[in-house]
Every structure is written in C-alpha cells, then in structure tokens.
Amino acid sequence: MDDPTTLVSTDWLEAHLRDPDLRVLDASWYLPAMARDARAEYDARHIPGARFFDLDEISDSRSELPHMAPPIEKFMSRLRAMGVGDGHQVVIYDGAGIFSAPRVWWTFRLMGKTDVAVLDGGLPKWLAEGRPTEDLPPLIRDRHMTVQKQNQLVKDVTQVAAASKLGDHEIIDARAPGRFRGEEPEPRPGLRAGHIPGAKNVPIGTLMTAAGTLKPAAELKAIFEAAGVDLSKPAITSCGSGVTAAVLSLALQVIGHRDHSLYDGSWAEWGMYDDLKVAKG
C-alpha cells in the first residue's frame, strides 16, 4: 500500500515522476567499511530530477557527534537552495535499499514536514526493474520553506537515561546482535561495547524482505513483539549513530505506532561516557 507520508513503491514514484510538486532526494550515505562514495555515485547516475541530500553536511556542525539533526535555519536554507519547500511531496531514496533514506525522512518529520516518503527498495530495486536514470543535475528554482520543529520526535542522552531507569519507554536498538550483546567491537574507536540497559534488539536486516523492501505491516509488528517490544508503550529508537535507528522509526510508523522518538546521539554518545551504565548479553 503506497502512503506518501511513509513508504511508496517504485511503481508509484515512476507514475508521479513528472508531477510539478514532486521532489526526489538521493539520501545515500555509507559507512566507511562499505567503501562507497555516495556523491560520486549520484553524479554518475540518479533517478530523474533527484537532488543530492548530503546527510553529513546538512547536520549540526557544532556537535562533536556525527550527523546530528541540523538546526532549523540550516535545514531551511539548504533545502531552499535545493529547490525543496512548502507544498512539495518529497520522496527519498538511497543506494543501499532502505538504509540512510529513513534518517532524512525522520529529519523532515522533525521539522514538521509530513508529505515525505521513503522509496521502498530504494535505488537497487529501481535499477533492477530497468527504470530510468540520468546523470544531469536538476534545474533548481528556489522555493519558500516554513518549519515547525517537532521536539517530541527526538531524545537526548538525559531523556534516554531517565527512560532506561524508569522503564516507561521501549528503547529499541537497530544494531547487529553481536554489537548489541557487546560481543563485537564498535566500529568507532573509543566506544564501550554493549547496549543501553533495558533496550530491546531489532536489527534492521530482520525488517527487510529478500528483495530489499520493508516487510508487510503484520510481519513487522510480529518482529517487534518477538523481540520483546511492548507496543503499548512509547518507543525510543537507537543504533550506532542515529542513522539506522530511523529505519525502526519508519517501521513503527508503518505499523501504526505513532508515539516514537529517536535518540539522536545513539551509541556514538552513550558508549562514550563511562558514567552511563552498559548492559551486555
């Protein structure tokens, strides 16, 4: 089911590709171990009309933590310069399938923008189906943008620590099981291994079909419940640095769970401070 506020299919996007108020964003971003250059890949080939959203650049440069949510003014100015503004339907994709695009979807929602969806299966599915691409930059026309930040969608370390202690939220961690259990080292140097006490582990790979699309809502719900997540509670999503946590946020939205927020600092922050408790196993 296509929903222009959460997830749309490749069929839906190609049918709407020439809509005057559609804006497509390539939000590809990769971990260093992936050895891929998102910008170079965009320049070589992208969905027609797509703009490149630089997840690291459109972030809070004042923070020592990676790609934290950008200040309102920076988000507005960067998106206006990309020709994205009020009244646009935005569709976001990435080159890994469903990996970094949900983080940009969440950022738009944080800024009060709800006419925004992730492309299910991303660029790999689009290419596999033989759909059109181009290597030309889009024609940009400045568009006014107004923003109303939704502070309830983001949590800081103090709020997450309180939630961990009180148990009044479900903290859901998207990292691989070995990292969650503290059996494998963190890719970022200097971070402790383990997870936030009380957190539940839902690795993002478990949410995907073999074709790289998000599983149906009923299956997603069953996966959260099998991991011990109480869906009657508000949820806080987390991961290594706040990117793949948004895949969990998207999945929660798809199953109709509306009371969820994202821990922006995620393990890059929690694993850094010795005075914060860490659980293993």
Known catalytic residues are 239
Q: CA-CA distance, 36 to 94, in Å (whole number)? A: 12
Name the nearest CA neighbour of 247 among 272, 197, 213, 196: 213
Q: CA-CA distance, 243 to 99, in Å (whole number)? A: 8
Between the alpha carbon of residue 157 and those of residues 54, 164, 272, 278, the distances in Å are 25, 10, 11, 13
- Say if residues 235 and 155 touch (Cβ distance below 8 Å): no
Q: How many residues does the chain have?
A: 281
The pair of structure tokens assigned to 36 is: 């891929």
- Say if residues 24 and 13 touch (Cβ distance below 8 Å): yes
